Structures are given as structure tokens and as C-alpha cells.
Structure 1
Amino acid sequence: RVFAAICDVWPQADVFTAVYDEEGTEGRFAHRRIQTSFLQRLRPTARTFRTFLPLYPAAIESFDLAGYDLVVSSSSAWAHGVIVEESAVHVCYCHNPFRYAWSEREAALGTSGRLLRPGLRWLFNHWRQWDWIAAQRVDRYLANSDLTRRRVQRYYGRESTVLPPPVETARFAPGGPVGEYYLVVSELMFHKRIEVAVEAFNRLRRPLVVVGDGPELRRLRRIAGPTVRFEGRVPDQRVAELMQGARALVVTATEEFGIAAVEAQAAGRPVIALAEGGACETVIDGETGTFYDRPDPDALAAAVAAFDPLEVDPAACAAQAARFDVGRFREGLRALVTEACAAAPNGRRARRRPARRAGRVLTGA
């Protein structure tokens, strides 16, 4: 959705991405001119793409961007590594520096097998070197949250401007009956810590609905008790219905921003979140939600038991969510890119051709 909002700012721009899946992106880019890398011929899927991760840096660097004077990349791992002409301006919207090279490196190594660990350590070190070098080529960084801004500065030594990502708040509206269930909406990845919510609600014996898919699904099903239900990946309309009827959204990860938390507030429902990361920037403690301070089931269970979601004013939640509407994002992005172009030396100011996009790499990271 973030990438689609970026594309809306430059409707005539070309899009580059390592791999394109029209069905997986729900046809949002079917009308665009899409250019893919050599990885497209290998046909990676959502289940197999991790096998090809070592090839992604070469895939991104293989794009021919000659003749384009403005490149806007949307990057959570690789896209900021595109090589542009010396005269071009490159603005990167950074969702997070590549987590397996930086913030999640040790956690990923700790969960890998003993035989795999030395090879992964070498690979992660290689990715870290490549990632740092790539970051030095970017002209201007935009960060999706203050947490990401701090990481960009710490890992890359680069300054960045915070621009919260777009949230389609119009898809949600307060009102309607509130059910008994609590809700998780997330990719089911190891670093999302969904097991914290599953175990907490096992102990509380309260209903929990989990929306999303990913490699952790099978393990989570095994540990889930009778009050936990998995819906898998569902259409947008179903997500909106579930958010509107939930007592509260539960966030267990240290999110760089956390769009689901804003969506829940747009639906008039509060958020129970770990007191780390983007949730601290989007949820007002005691007004549109509450926080717990440790990523463990006991802390979450205590927060759920102590918090009454029905005392929260849905209108206050919706007003907080409106701060992150997609319209504000588009205006902010256009202004910041214009500023970056104006600040570039005369020989590098974008002026010759329409903007061309270096698209998001679909790594899921």
C-alpha cells in the first residue's frame, strides 16, 4: 500500500522491481510499466523467495537507469542499492534498514541450526557491507518513523526526515457492535512475536483472532488453545469488519511504524501494544490504547486484564488515525522530493525527463 501511494504521486513514472507478482499485489500496478530483474525468470514465490535472497543485491544493481534524473526508491532491504547516473537525484523512502544485516542479525543467527550458522554469519556480514556502501550513494533519506530515523543514522551514518507512511483511513469507520474477541493483524514471521499473544490469550482464556500468513503459522497453530482462531490472509473488507468489531488490536512486535495500529484506531478501536517502536508514535496511552513494557505473555496478559477497551472513545481513536491519512503522505512526499531536487547541485537537478521509479523489492523483509 505504501508503494502504491508513492506511485500515485508520479502516475507516469516507470516502476522497477526485482520480482513482480500481479496476483500477490492484487492488481494495484497492472496499469503501470513494470520492469523486473533476472530473478523474475526464476519465478520465486512467497514460500521460495528466501532461497534467492543472496542474489537480490546483484538483481537491484542490474537495473539500467541511464537517462533518468530522478529516482525514488521504497526500501526495506535492497531497493536503495540501485545505481543511478551521476547527474541523477536519488531519494529513498526507508521502511527499515535491512533487518538481517542489522537489528535482527543476532536473533536470526540464534534461531538457525549449528551447521548453518557459520555460513549465515558470513552472508549477513557480506550483506551489511553491501548495505552500508549502498546507503552512501543515496542523496536524501526519508524515514517512516523516528525509530527508523535513528537506525538510519546509527547504521548508515546518514540523516533522514521522518514522513509517516500513508494509511487508507477511509476504508475504516467507527461504529457497529463490538464483539468479545481481540485481534492480531500481522505477517506471521519470527520477529513479529505472535506467540506472545497466542500464549497470553491461552492463559486468559479470552478469544483471539489472528489475521495473516507466514512461515510461523504452523508452529503457532500447534501452541494455540481453543480460544485462538486463525483466519489466514483475508480481503481488505474482511480486515475492516474484524477491526470494527474487535475489542482491541494487539501488537506484539517492535514495529518500525505499524500501519495496522493506525487502521484499528481509524475503525474506532483501541490498541494494546508493546511500548517500543512506532506504536509509541501512533497510540496515545490511556486515550487510544495502552502499552505493556516487556515482550512476554505475562506482561501482555496483565495489560489486557487491566485495560477496558469499552471505556475508550471511538471518536478519539478516529481523530488520532486521521493524522496519518494517505493524502497527507502524498503531499509530504512531493514536497520533500522537490526539496531534495532543489538542494542538488545544478548539474544534478531533475529536469530532463519525467520521474522514473526504482521500485520496492518484494523481499518481505
Structure 2
Amino acid sequence: MSNTPPKVALLHEWFDSYAGSERVVEQMLEVFPQADLFALCDFLKPEDREFLKGREVTTSFMQRLPFAKRTFRGFLPLMPLAVEQFCFDPFDVVLSSSHCVAHGALTRADQLHISYVHSPIRYAWDLQHQYLRESGLSWGIRSMIVRMILHYMRLWDRTAADRVDHYVANSHYVAKRVQKTYRRPCEVIYPPVDVEAFPLQTEKQDYFLTASRLVPYKRVDIVVEAFQKLPKQRLVVVGDGPDMEKIKRLAGSNVECVGYQSHAELRQWMQGARAFVFAADEDFGITPVEAQACGTPCIAYGVGGSLETIACGQTGLHFPQQTADSVVDAIERFVKDPNRFEPERIRQHAEQFSASRFQQQMQAFVHDRWQDHQRSMSLS
């Protein structure tokens, strides 16, 4: 069995922004700095490319399709074909970062494929009906065409799942969906959060904070509705998006919509807030962890990643339903006893999701699985 480090290929679906999954890729590249990088397409703006540190990205034929820069997501039916065209022959380990098709890469028996799953294709599986409803595709010819495409994606996705040697999920919430969808066991390594960029601040000001992209599934609307019923409490809304006008219409005099804020400005808002309010159903949820790194307690919808990142009664509170009344009840419980939440303890809790912890766990996992893989190949 060789002690030579394996040659690693890192496969990501696409690069068009620097968001949660790209932060995971960034830390994977810290663990495997010599890895070659692959993606179906790469449309990152020059100012967003810093995390790749000058690395070239090998892309698929999708990069050259007409109007791909603006509409590449519309080429979903071509993505399985595109990911299967990558040749990974020179590599020992293929590490895929997958929320759509990256786990479907073709590898040989002597190669090891580890897939870090942000989620199975949610709009093709458990969220199909919600996706169709919110897209106005519940009825009609277009609905039938989209349903056929999603049916095809499910068939391919289930077949592709068997190509992976080991699955890793970003939360136990996602691991359960992997087990349900793919019938495969799944380890959990929480994604990296840059807690060092959100220093502890123990003195808080008299406002609550919510921050996210203003899109329907983030449910910022119910947070704002809740504060309509809490006129003595102040809410600051950070973020921009399609729902901005709706949020402004709902906002009373005690709600301040400040729009998009820079990283430094968001950090200041988080550091000063009495509590961070979060109403989305997220697979993990990086923003609440960033708030906790500042020593700020979180009041969050008690489903999904929030159950794993927020210790109810210690670093925040959960509310059971995505309704304004449920948020109101949680805020009132918080206001009755705000001193129960100690900023230093909240910060300590957030540190377990740090980037350094992710790097250590990912490096150990890939090393151990590669050693096991070599042993099994030597016996065959």
C-alpha cells in the first residue's frame, strides 16, 4: 500500500457566485491545494474569483452553449450528460461537491469517489410540488413538460447515486434525505463557517435582526408580520431580492429595511443585535452560526439545520411553525428572560462549526477512506 498522497480531482456543479457551497469548495482547496478543479460551467465575476486563488477550472460543453451565462440552469436536462463527459483517468480520488448532478461523475473501480452532498436535487424529489406551485407550473402543457424532465432527472439521479463510494452530508437533516433518496449510509461533516470574521461582542443594542436574500422560501415576510404585532420591539431587515417591495409594504414604523449591506456592515448589525430571527427551513444555515459567533442568540424555525446549529435554551430559541404568531410567541418568551443567553457561551458553541474544524475532519475522512480503498484493492 502506497503512502504517496492521492491525486485529487475536485468537481463542483457550477461557479456563478460565491455562496455557501462555494465556501465549502474554498476550504476543500485548502485541504487539497494540488487538486484539479472541474465544473459544468464557470461564470464567476472577476471580483468573486479570489477564493479560487488563480486556479483554472476545467468546464464542460455547457460553457459554450448559446446564452449559457444567463440561462445555464435552464439546461438542466443536459447536465447529466455534461457531468459524464469529464475524464478523471489521471486521478486517484474524485471529490464532488454536489447539490444537483456532480455525484454522477464516472469513475473506475480503482478510483475512489467521495461526494459531499449539500442536498439531493430538492426540486426533483421532496420539493417538487412546492417548486411547481411557486413557479406557476401546477397545470398546463408547460407543467407536463417540466414534470417529465423532473421524472427523467429522478431516474438518472437514483442510478447515478450508486457510482459514489462514500457520501458525506452537510447536516444530519441532509443525511436523512440522502438515506431516503439514495438508500445509502452517509457521514456528516458540518460545512465551514468563517467564525473568525464575526468577533464576539458582549454589549447588545435594542433591536432584533433578520438578514437573508429576500426570496419567498426565506420567509422574511412572517418575521416582519410578527413585528407588526410587537410594536414596542424594533426589527432591522438586511438583504435585497425579489420580495423587497412586499417586505416594505408589510413593514410598520418599528421595522427598518436597510437593503443590501457589505460584509463589514452586516457584521456590525449582527454584533449589536439583541437576537437574530431566522424563519427559513434550511439544510444547514450559515447565517445563524455567524450571528452566534458574534455572541448573538438566535430565534429560529425549529426544523432542519437550525435544530443542529442552535442549542434551544442555551444559544437561542426555536419556534414550531412558519407563522407570524409562532414568531411572536418566541419573541415574547425571549423578552421575558433575555439574560439567560450568555454571549461568551454562544460564541463557544459557534466555534464548533469553524473552517479549521472542517479542514481537519475532511482531510481525515478522505485519508482514512483512501487507505481503506487501497487495502481493498490490494486484496482483490
Give the conservation status (yes or no) of the 8 Å contact 2:132–2:143.
yes
Paired residue secondary structure (1:166): coil
Which TM-score applies when normalising by structure 1? 0.87
2:348 maps to 319
Deviates more, 1:225-234 or 1:73-82: 225-234
Task: Report the Cα distance in structure 1 between the residues aligned to 2:266 and 2:377, rounded to whole angstroms.
Answer: 44
Using a 3 Å threshold, how does the CA distance of structure 1 residues 74 and 201 change in structure 2: closer, same or farther? same
Paired residue secondary structure (1:307): helix
1:360 maps to none
Using a 3 Å threshold, how does the CA distance of structure 1 residues 276 and 220 change in structure 2: closer, same or farther? same
* Greater relative CO, 1 or 2 (CA 8 Å, sep 6+): 1
Paired residue secondary structure (1:58): helix
Using a 3 Å threshold, how does the CA distance of structure 1 residues 26 and 244 change in structure 2: closer, same or farther? farther
2:28 maps to 6
Task: Report the Cα distance in structure 1 between the residues aligned to 2:72 and 2:215, rounded to whole angstroms.
Answer: 14
Confirm or deny that 1:156 pairs with 2:178: no
Q: Sequence identity, in percent?
A: 37
1:122 maps to 148
Give the conservation status (yes or no) of the 8 Å contact 1:184–1:250.
yes
Using a 3 Å threshold, how does the CA distance of structure 1 residues 43 and 264 change in structure 2: closer, same or farther? farther
2:131 maps to 108
Q: Deviations over 1:263-282 (max 9, x none)?
A: 11110000001111111112
Task: Report the Cα distance in structure 1 between the residues aligned to 2:310 and 2:275, rounded to whole angstroms.
Answer: 12
Q: Give the AA of the match of 1:107.
A: Q
Q: Give the AA of the match of 1:27.
A: E
Selected match of 2:196 from 149, 170, 188: 170
Selected match of 2:229 from 195, 203, 207: 203
Q: Give the AA of the match of 2:312.
A: D
Paired residue secondary structure (1:15): strand
2:16 maps to none
Give the conservation status (yes or no) of the 8 Å contact 2:202–2:343.
no
Report matched runs for 1:217-256 at 5 Å: 217-256=244-283
Please report how far the alpha carbon of residue 292 of structure 1 lies from its aligned counterpart in structure 2 after TM superposition.
0.4
Task: Report the Cα distance in structure 2 between the residues aligned to 1:317 and 1:61, rounded to whole angstroms.
Answer: 44
Q: Give the AA of the match of 1:246.
A: A
Please report how far the alpha carbon of residue 61 of structure 1 lies from its aligned counterpart in structure 2 after TM superposition.
2.2
Task: Report the Cα distance in structure 2 between the residues aligned to 1:336 and 1:160, rounded to whole angstroms.
Answer: 12
Q: Give the AA of the match of 1:178.
A: K
Which TM-score applies when normalising by structure 2? 0.84
Q: Give the AA of the match of 2:229.
A: R
Deviates more, 1:332-341 or 1:175-184: 175-184
Confirm or deny that 1:257 pairs with 2:284: yes
Q: Give the AA of the match of 1:244.
A: Q
2:110 maps to 87
Task: Report the Cα distance in structure 2 between the residues aligned to 1:231 and 1:68, rounded to whole angstroms.
Answer: 48
Confirm or deny that 1:300 pairs with 2:327: yes
Using a 3 Å threshold, how does the CA distance of structure 1 residues 196 and 236 change in structure 2: closer, same or farther? same
Task: Report the Cα distance in structure 1 between the residues aligned to 2:60 and 2:81, rounded to whole angstroms.
Answer: 9
1:60 maps to 83
Paired residue secondary structure (1:19): strand
Confirm or deny that 1:19 pairs with 2:41: yes
1:184 maps to 210
Give the conservation status (yes or no) of the 8 Å contact 2:289–2:350.
yes
Give the conservation status (yes or no) of the 8 Å contact 2:202–2:295.
no
Q: Give the AA of the match of 1:318.
A: R
Report matched runs for 1:61-80 at 5 Å: 61-80=84-103
Please report how far the alpha carbon of residue 314 of structure 1 lies from its aligned counterpart in structure 2 after TM superposition.
0.4
Using a 3 Å threshold, how does the CA distance of structure 1 residues 333 and 292 change in structure 2: closer, same or farther? same
Report matched runs for 1:133-152 at 5 Å: 133-152=159-178
Give the conservation status (yes or no) of the 8 Å contact 1:68–1:85.
no
Using a 3 Å threshold, how does the CA distance of structure 1 residues 278 and 66 change in structure 2: closer, same or farther? same
Please report how far the alpha carbon of residue 63 of structure 1 lies from its aligned counterpart in structure 2 after TM superposition.
1.9
Structure whose CA Rg is larger: 2
Task: Report the Cα distance in structure 1 between the residues aligned to 2:200 and 2:313, rounded to whole angstroms.
Answer: 18
Unaligned runs of 5+ in 2: 1-22
The number of residue pairs the alignment matches comes to: 348
Unaligned runs of 5+ in 1: 350-365
Once superposed, what is the RMSD of the aligned Cα atoms? Answer: 2.3
Using a 3 Å threshold, how does the CA distance of structure 1 residues 12 and 133 change in structure 2: closer, same or farther? same
Q: Give the AA of the match of 2:165.
A: D
